[in-house]
Structure 1
């Protein structure tokens, strides 16, 4: 895993996997190595807090996390640990979605659709799940993942992180499969979809997972429909039936979330934020912010910054 220098249009750095890796495992003391650092997920992440307590901020939401807890993060989300005691330890399993491609011919190792069927990864919000009843099972599973990852992975570059070759993914993916199944029992029971069929739910989740990672591209709904091999009308109906919201409205919410991230976590002038989000001018961006929040960009920046570390635009 790395936290590469960010280009001008991507000032909040994205964590990515290199060297052909699709899965990694890391364990760290929050206060010692992570406190205050800002991360944008470039993959799906399971964070297991099994010691101490900590405060997490993700896309403007604040969570007081007590062990044992499981945090599920989606690609594109921005988070930081804002406080932690000396005993706070987290284990992170990060993985690419293509691990769960249906069918071996497409590169996947499991013929499952866990990412689309389980209510864990939510682009519209962070899942922080108390794990009191499953704590022993999850602790053993995460410990086994750490142990097997160290055995199966190979040092990369300076050795600060390690690559798991794809031909050795099977064991770790089996553990991940079980962890996801265990984690699903922690999620609160959801009301059954009203008229929405399972296919609508899966298509809606796929749309939101893709859109959450490509918000800066400002793609129209038709582009996502083409990506998912359906018509724009089909996608709109499926998303509305599954969520009560249109794809266009959801894309606007994601764009607003990204605007909040940039205003709170960078020192970019409003003009640069507007340009990065592909608005024609700062005034157009400011009007759009006021229409959606009732506040100015400056007010949003002051509200969201608090004690957040600020990333320089230089």
Structure 2
């Protein structure tokens, strides 16, 4: 699983896909923007296959499993990874991102994940990713003999400024809505912040009260806001996300059912199996067999 190191909340990396990343399986522990400008590549994400034609921007959400399955020699990707709390924690601090401005970005949708064709503003995005990478190299620090670099917190605001503009450019790539959408309400904003945080920690099976405290509201307030915005309660949403995660682990990895149950914080494999059957009408093994009929099995990360 790819995660942030040493307390970092944002990082930038650039690599030749064919040389370093081909067929390596990654599991996102953060939100990520992947910029491909030049070359051709193919990406598998949660079992689906995508042919990626440059210039393209790929949005990935926490928990998603992906790998580059093909690429030519010219395919280079630049990755910006960032934590959700950049959008919420310490909102009084300067330099933090404006969540409302970015609501329409596919990255913020409940299902997560999108590949956006970027022809109309490829030049802007390419320049922004290059500048972001350069500034990260200048401001980040190598951790001793380790291979990764960490951005000190005092330099976060500089990279956040670049990320902000990149996300605004990305939001403009989304298809135009046929009907104008109303301005996001307080309920909608709170609901999206809940899903943003809970999506990163769904396997911990934390109670709704935990997220309510994190967002400085009561559990009842959060429940009402999420229900009014999505038509379902936070508890139901959490259960659905946990089921998505169970499907990922059963279908996309070779982990035994017992290990999947443990990873998802169930008390036993039998408890997990009963839960899966209640929600799908199938046993975990049946779900795995059915899903593998249409998906590529990845390694057991």
- TM-score, normalisation: structure 2: 0.86
Kindly indicate whether the alpha-carbon contact (under 8 Å) linking 1:82 and 1:308 is maintained by their aligned counterparts in 2. no
Query: Which residue, out of 132, 139, 145, partners 1:158?
Result: 145
- Distance change in 2, residues 1:161/1:183 (3 Å): same
SS in 1 for 2:120: coil
Gaps of 5+ in 2: none
| Other-structure match for 2:287 | 300
Kindly indicate whether the alpha-carbon contact (under 8 Å) linking 2:276 and 2:282 is maintained by their aligned counterparts in 1. yes
| Other-structure match for 1:310 | 299
Matches within 5 A, 1:79-98: 79-98=66-85
Q: Say what the alpha-carbon RMSD is for the aligned residues.
A: 2.7
1:77-98 deviation line (CA, Å, top 9, x unaligned): 3322233333322100112333
Query: Which residue, out of 110, 114, 129, partners 2:96?
Result: 110
Counterpart CA distance in 1 for 2:123 and 2:133 is 15
Query: Which residue, out of 92, 101, 106, partners 1:120?
Result: 106
Is 1:67 the counterpart of 2:27? The answer is: no
| Other-structure match for 1:53 | 40
- Distance change in 2, residues 1:308/1:32 (3 Å): farther
Matches within 5 A, 1:166-185: 166-185=153-172
Gaps of 5+ in 1: 1-12
| Other-structure match for 2:207 | 220
Matches within 5 A, 1:260-275: 260-275=247-262
Counterpart CA distance in 2 for 1:292 and 1:61 is 23
- Residue 53 of structure 1: how far off its partner (Å): 2.6
Matches within 5 A, 1:131-210: 131-158=118-145, 160-190=147-177, 198-210=185-197
- Distance change in 2, residues 1:284/1:171 (3 Å): closer
- Distance change in 2, residues 1:117/1:148 (3 Å): same
Kindly indicate whether the alpha-carbon contact (under 8 Å) linking 1:114 and 1:180 is maintained by their aligned counterparts in 2. no
- Distance change in 2, residues 1:116/1:75 (3 Å): farther
1:157-199 deviation line (CA, Å, top 9, x unaligned): 32522222233333322211111111110123456668x9521
